[in-house]
Amino acid sequence: MAETTESESRKLLVRLREAMAGDDAGQARLDKITHLIADSMGTEVCSVYLFRDEETLELCATQGLNLESVHQTRMRIGEGLVGRVAKYGKVVNTPDAPNAKGFRYMPETGEERFSSFLGVPVQRLGEMLGVLVVQSKEAREFSADAVYALEVVAMVIAEMTELGAFVGEGAALSPLHQQAVLIHGGSAQEGAAEGHVWLHEPRVIVTNPIADDPARELERLNGAVEELRVGVDKMLEVSRNGDKEQLQVLEAYRMFANSKGWMRRMEEDIARGLSAEAAVEKEQSQARTRMSQVQDAYLRERLSDLDDLSNRLLRILTGQGANTGAELPENPILIARNIGPGDLLEYGRSLRGIVLEEGSVGSHAAIVARALAIPLVVHAKRITTEALNGDHIMVDGDQGVVHLRPDETVVGAFRDKIAMHAQAQERYASIRNTPAVTTDGQRINMVMNAGLMADLPSLDGSGAEGVGLFRTELQFLVRNQMPKRSELVALYQRVLDAAHGKPVVFRTLDIGSDKVLPYMAPTDEPNPALGWRAIRVGLDKPGVMRMQLQALLRAADGRPLSVMFPFVAQFEEYRAAKAELDKTIERERILGHALPSELKVGAMLETPSLAYAPQKFFDEVSFISIGGNDLKQFFFAADRENERVRRRYDTLNVSFLSFIERIVERCAISGTPLSFCGEDAGRPVEAVCLAAMGIRTLSMRPASIGPVKSLLLRVDLGELRKIISDARHRGDQAVRPAVMQYLRGL
Ligand code: PEP
Ligand code: MG
């Protein structure tokens, strides 16, 4: 076998480029490439396997194996040596393939004649595209040099695949980024949207993976790395006095930007004929593959830092990638791996939909998307690699489904769905100012949940009669620093102004569990949902709560004020929090500030324990609000963030409804106003059942007010209650079937 020295590698790449430059169709190019590689590496066989679909690899071209098996031989990912390379993204190098672990005999290829096997992944930015293999009769292990050379070639093939070089008549491949793709993810915010892809971080396209002049490429790489280092140093300088965690990230960046190993590998790639950008991408691809495999959270973080740095470097080298200056397309649908709440807020309401490759239902981005009522699909696998800026896309937030580049039938069906949504919206708008009174004359108070300034216009638009839950922590979560008291005062003032006298219930800071403030020292708890959160933090470290209470009092400036404390598990916690508030009021009085004309202080009932608090508790609080999301998770011991269990128990389970009824009774004894502010209040069927159990105030996302009110206007709560009661007596597990039957008959 010829020595695969750097100059040999370079020669091969130059020949590859010549082969690619011809007018050949895709298949002919691929055939030529396998021939060239086998020739240059001195092996009898060279084959390219590419993915047909997510699971299946197909032999697309070969030099040395039976030609009849091209496009016939297929294997599943993980199957055989080729499948193993694809599955693990790792090189397989063995002198005795037939006896190697995982070998699968494929008689149609005639490969049993070949003893040694070297397979490397063809991957681009962590996306596995296929496998490149060389085989020879002679039993020997390929040298590290040969492995390296083949990896470099695989990199070029990956770039060419991305550029569509193997597409055409008799094509080895169907074109990338052109076919319709259906992706099933998870629903994090309902709604349907049609529009065009806007990549939060656009893909960088490398059009010149092969370079003639290594010295020049090295110079380009060094120049770009220098620019990168200067940039990181500048960021460090700016953040010197700021947030500690951000500083740590930047220090890690700097470490990588100065990392000798990283630089050395890229220099070697260049010496073997890759362009500077292809070298960066090759290392980035390998880091991404590692990232998907390591378990250790710290290591993953570091690999993700490296990924980020590589992105920056690619942008410097190609001048592409940053969206700066580019205009959002019409009806933009944002696509990202993940996005922080701050970035999302910057896009604001300009977005029609959001699709995240990772993300989670309970993430802060999801909270923001919900507040903005933008359909959001999370866990959309491969969306960032499949989608290109401007692609036509349809997002079904109800089902958690994304149609990328949809075909005509899908477009038709989807537009019908959007039209139905729009019609429904019109119907809801027509009842915006109608009070929610059921057919048996029960009046339900419809209020909304809020937390962002972006929510405020909904106070007028949705027909909400007030704000039943203002989640104050959102303002803390979307910042990099603890907000100042004066900022909070201004903010709460704006909320009260926007409400024009409608009641607003401010909930004090509810942090901990999944809501982690970026600027507070993280607490390492075995089970954060049951840990140091909400009122527990507020009472143990009262500084922030005091500041917040003071801000609320000043914002009210003599107007009525309602405050509630989250996650109260026992009477004493409420009393202690109320005592803090009383002290703050006293201080404000001494300082000469105006006090609220009316003050209501409530507690959120989010743990079953509080439902059994002494009656005196119910006497003392001004009101109670059931935080159904948390209450349900603790009632059924089923994590609200865990996709596996979160839908396992029905809100309309008879046990849960009986429990709600119990709370209603206890409040009734003391005459304590009761509301329900979990997500279930915004689901029409659940909402009417809650009303039937005696809840008279429902607080929900603004977008839910129309659908819930529309159903309330049509039901008879007395009848519904009887149906629920009958179902309980029959021993049904959940009342849903009986309720649905009643609702269908309306
Ligand atoms: C709840 O738990 O139902 C609630 C309204 O609070 P959050 O969702 O913010 O925990
Ligand atoms: Mg809660």
111-142 pLDDT, tens per residue? Answer: 888 899 999 999 887 788 899 999 999 988 89
Q: What is the mean pLDDT of residues 506-512?
A: 93
pLDDT for 445 beyond 90: yes
pLDDT for 631 beyond 50: yes
pLDDT for 48 beyond 90: yes
Q: What is the pLDDT of residue 173?
A: 55
User: What is the whole-number distance in angstroms between the Cα of residue 703 and the centre of ligand 1?
Assistant: 17
230: domain CATH number is: 1.10.274.10
pLDDT for 172 beyond 80: no
Look at residue 81 and tell me if it is in a domain.
yes
Torsion of Cα atoms, 693 then 696 then 699 then 705, to 10° = 90
Over residues 256-281, the pLDDT tens digits come to 777 788 889 899 999 999 999 999 98
Sheet holding 392-396, edge to edge: 181-184, 401-404, 392-396, 192-199, 332-336, 353-356, 376-378, 186-189
**Ligand nearest to C-alpha 472:** 1
Ligand 1 atom closest to the Cα of residue 606 is: 2
Ligand 1: residue whose CA is nearest its atom 9: 471
Q: What is the pLDDT of residue 2?
A: 45
Rounded to whole angstroms, how far apart are CA atoms 18 and 35? 13
pLDDT for 171 beyond 60: no
User: What is the whole-number distance in angstroms between the Cα of residue 136 and the centre of ligand 1?
Assistant: 64
**Ligand nearest to C-alpha 567:** 2
**Packing angle of the helix pair 297-318, 276-293 (nearest 10 deg):** 160
User: What is the whole-number distance in angstroms between the Cα of residue 307 and the centre of ligand 1?
Assistant: 35
- The dihedrals phi and psi of 88, each to the nearest 5 degrees, come to -95, -10
Q: What is the pLDDT of residue 22?
A: 74
The percentage of residues in the chain with a pLDDT greater than 70, rounded to a whole number, is 93
User: What is the whole-number distance in angstroms between the Cα of residue 646 and the centre of ligand 1?
Assistant: 14
Q: Is 463 in the pocket of ligand 1 (CB under 6 A)?
A: no
For the beta carbon of residue 522, count every other beta carbon within 10 angstroms.
Answer: 10
Same domain, 35 and 157: yes
pLDDT for 633 beyond 90: yes
For residues 585 and 595, the answer to whether their CB atoms sit within 8 Å is: yes
Rounded to whole angstroms, how far apart are CA atoms 709 and 689? 13
Q: What is the pLDDT of residue 180?
A: 87
Look at residue 416 and tell me if it is in a domain.
no
DSSP symbol at 392: E
User: What is the whole-number distance in angstroms between the Cα of residue 701 and the centre of ligand 2?
Assistant: 15
351: domain CATH number is: 3.50.30.10
Ligand 1 atom closest to the Cα of residue 699 is: 5
Ligand 1 atom closest to the Cα of residue 677 is: 5
For the beta carbon of residue 252, count every other beta carbon within 10 angstroms.
Answer: 18
Over residues 534-586, the pLDDT tens digits come to 999 999 999 999 999 999 999 999 999 999 999 999 999 999 999 999 999 99
Q: How many degrees, rounded to 5, is the angle at CA 734 between CA 729 and CA 736?
A: 110
Same domain, 349 and 467: no
User: What is the whole-number distance in angstroms between the Cα of residue 567 and the centre of ligand 2?
Assistant: 6
Which of 368-382, 424-438, 649-663, 718-732 has the lowest average pLDDT? 368-382
Look at residue 366 and tell me if it is in a domain.
yes
Q: Is 596 in the pocket of ligand 1 (CB under 6 A)?
A: no
377 SS3 class: strand
Residue 623 bridge partners (DSSP):
602
> With bands split at pLDDT 50, 70 and 90, how would you rate the model's confidence at 349?
confident
Strand 353-356 relative to strand 376-378, pairing: parallel
Q: Is 677 in the pocket of ligand 1 (CB under 6 A)?
A: yes
Residue 352 bridge partners (DSSP):
none
Same domain, 383 and 255: no
Rounded to whole angstroms, how far apart are CA atoms 66 and 69? 6
Rounded to whole angstroms, how far apart are CA atoms 16 and 32? 8
Which of 7-21, 426-440, 709-723 has the lowest average pLDDT? 7-21
Stronger pLDDT, 177 or 588, i.e. the higher one: 588
Q: How many domains does the chain have?
A: 4
pLDDT for 344 beyond 90: no
Rounded to whole angstroms, how far apart are CA atoms 534 and 523? 14
On the 0-12 / 13-18 / 19+ scale of CB atoms within 10 A, 546 is middle
Same domain, 632 and 738: yes
Ligand 1 atom closest to the Cα of residue 625 is: 5
**Ligand nearest to C-alpha 535:** 2
Q: What is the pLDDT of residue 362?
A: 61
Q: Is 471 in the pocket of ligand 1 (CB under 6 A)?
A: yes
Ligand 1: residue whose CA is nearest its atom 8: 629
User: What is the whole-number distance in angstroms between the Cα of residue 514 and the centre of ligand 2?
Assistant: 11
Q: What is the pLDDT of residue 1?
A: 43
Ligand 1: residue whose CA is nearest its atom 4: 627
Ligand 1 atom closest to the Cα of residue 628 is: 3
293 SS3 class: helix
User: What is the whole-number distance in angstroms between the Cα of residue 658 and the centre of ligand 1?
Assistant: 20
447: domain CATH number is: 3.20.20.60
Q: What is the mean pLDDT of residues 408-419?
A: 90
Residue 336 bridge partners (DSSP):
356
pLDDT for 354 beyond 70: yes
pLDDT for 169 beyond 60: no
Q: Is 307 in the pocket of ligand 1 (CB under 6 A)?
A: no
* Close Cβ partners of 345 (under 8 Å, ≥ 6 residues apart): 368, 452, 454, 478
Over residues 184-214, the pLDDT tens digits come to 998 888 889 999 999 988 777 788 889 989 9
Sign of CA dihedral 667, 671, 677, 683: positive
For residues 182 and 316, the answer to whether their CB atoms sit within 8 Å is: no
Q: Is 630 in the pocket of ligand 1 (CB under 6 A)?
A: yes
Strand 436-437 relative to strand 353-356, pairing: unpaired
User: What is the whole-number distance in angstroms between the Cα of residue 448 and the centre of ligand 2?
Assistant: 15
Q: Is 627 in the pocket of ligand 1 (CB under 6 A)?
A: yes
Same domain, 117 and 242: no
Domain stop point among 318, 346, 361: 318
Q: Is 510 in the pocket of ligand 1 (CB under 6 A)?
A: yes
Give the residue ranges of DSSP H helices in 358-461.
364-371, 383-386, 408-430, 458-461
Rounded to whole angstroms, how far apart are CA atoms 668 and 654? 21
Q: Is 277 in the pocket of ligand 1 (CB under 6 A)?
A: no
Rounded to whole angstroms, how far apart are CA atoms 401 and 379? 10
Mutate-to-test residue for ligand 1 from 364, 370, 508, 510, highest number of ligand atoms within 8 A of CB: 510
**Ligand nearest to C-alpha 507:** 1
Same domain, 541 and 634: yes
pLDDT for 170 beyond 60: no
Which of 422-426, 512-516, 735-739 has the lowest average pLDDT? 512-516
Same domain, 153 and 192: no
Q: What is the pLDDT of residue 341?
A: 67
Look at residue 286 and tell me if it is in a domain.
yes
Domain stop point among 264, 293, 318: 318
Closest to 33 in 3D by CA, of 71, 60, 58, 67: 60
pLDDT for 146 beyond 60: yes
Q: What is the mean pLDDT of residues 475-479?
A: 77
pLDDT for 174 beyond 70: no
Mutate-to-test residue for ligand 1 from 677, 697, 698, highest number of ligand atoms within 8 A of CB: 677
Q: How many degrees, rounded to 5, is the angle at CA 600 between CA 596 and CA 603?
A: 140
Q: What is the mean pLDDT of residues 524-542?
A: 91
Same domain, 625 and 544: yes
Rounded to whole angstroms, how far apart are CA atoms 20 and 25? 10
Q: What is the mean pLDDT of the chain?
A: 88
Q: Is 473 in the pocket of ligand 1 (CB under 6 A)?
A: no
Rounded to whole angstroms, how far apart are CA atoms 39 and 185? 45
Ligand 1 atom closest to the Cα of residue 678 is: 3
> With bands split at pLDDT 50, 70 and 90, how would you rate the model's confidence at 175?
low
Q: What is the pLDDT of residue 336?
A: 92
Look at residue 1 and tell me if it is in a domain.
no
Q: What is the pLDDT of residue 283?
A: 87
Same domain, 298 and 406: no
163 SS3 class: coil
User: What is the whole-number distance in angstroms between the Cα of residue 564 and the centre of ligand 2?
Assistant: 12
Ligand 1 atom closest to the Cα of residue 471 is: 9
Look at residue 462 and tell me if it is in a domain.
yes
DSSP symbol at 435: -
28 SS3 class: helix
Look at residue 677 and tell me if it is in a domain.
yes
pLDDT for 422 beyond 80: yes
Q: What is the pLDDT of residue 233?
A: 81
For residues 447 and 471, the answer to whether their CB atoms sit within 8 Å is: no
Rounded to whole angstroms, how far apart are CA atoms 676 and 326? 44
Closest to 388 in 3D by CA, of 407, 405, 408: 405
- Token code pair at residue 400: 């958690």
Rounded to whole angstroms, how far apart are CA atoms 100 and 117? 10
User: What is the whole-number distance in angstroms between the Cα of residue 201 and the centre of ligand 1?
Assistant: 32
Q: How many degrees, rounded to 5, is the angle at CA 716 between CA 710 and CA 719?
A: 145
For residues 54 and 76, the answer to whether their CB atoms sit within 8 Å is: no
Measured CA distances, 612 to 282, 570, 667 (Å): 61, 9, 11
Same domain, 402 and 471: no
Closest to 537 in 3D by CA, of 570, 512, 518: 512
Over residues 269-325, the pLDDT tens digits come to 999 999 999 999 888 888 777 777 777 767 766 777 777 788 888 888 887 755 555
Q: What is the pLDDT of residue 321?
A: 56
Q: What is the mean pLDDT of residues 6-17?
A: 83
Q: What is the pLDDT of residue 19?
A: 81
Domain stop point among 263, 288, 318: 318
User: What is the whole-number distance in angstroms between the Cα of residue 19 and the centre of ligand 2?
Assistant: 62
Q: Is 190 in the pocket of ligand 1 (CB under 6 A)?
A: no
Q: Is 628 in the pocket of ligand 1 (CB under 6 A)?
A: yes
Q: HEC states along 467-526?
A: EEEEECHHHHHCCCCCCCHHHHHHHHHHHHHHHCCCCEEEECCCCECCECCCCCCCCCCC
Catalytic residue numbers read 364, 677
Q: What is the pLDDT of residue 313?
A: 87
Same domain, 540 and 654: yes
Look at residue 256 and tell me if it is in a domain.
yes
441 SS3 class: coil
Rounded to whole angstroms, how far apart are CA atoms 38 and 694? 78
Measured CA distances, 682 to 633, 648, 711 (Å): 17, 19, 11
> With bands split at pLDDT 50, 70 and 90, how would you rate the model's confidence at 107?
confident
565-594 burial, b at 16+ Cβ within 10 Å, e below that, comes to: bbbbbebebbeebbebbeebbeebeeeeee
Ligand 1: residue whose CA is nearest its atom 1: 627
Q: Is 606 in the pocket of ligand 1 (CB under 6 A)?
A: yes
pLDDT for 93 beyond 50: yes
Report how far Cα 152 is from the mean position of its chain's Cα atoms. 33
Ligand 1 atom closest to the Cα of residue 679 is: 3
Rounded to whole angstroms, how far apart are CA atoms 120 and 635? 52
DSSP symbol at 653: B
Ligand 1 atom closest to the Cα of residue 566 is: 6
Same domain, 188 and 166: no
User: Which residues have CB atoms below 5 A from the ion given as ligand 2?
Assistant: 606, 627, 630
* Close Cβ partners of 490 (under 8 Å, ≥ 6 residues apart): 555
Mutate-to-test residue for ligand 1 from 505, 606, 646, 701, highest number of ligand atoms within 8 A of CB: 606
Domain region containing 241? 214-318
145: domain CATH number is: 3.30.450.40
Which of 451-465, 526-540, 719-733 has the lowest average pLDDT? 451-465
Q: Is 680 in the pocket of ligand 1 (CB under 6 A)?
A: no
Q: Is 362 in the pocket of ligand 1 (CB under 6 A)?
A: no
**Ligand nearest to C-alpha 632:** 1
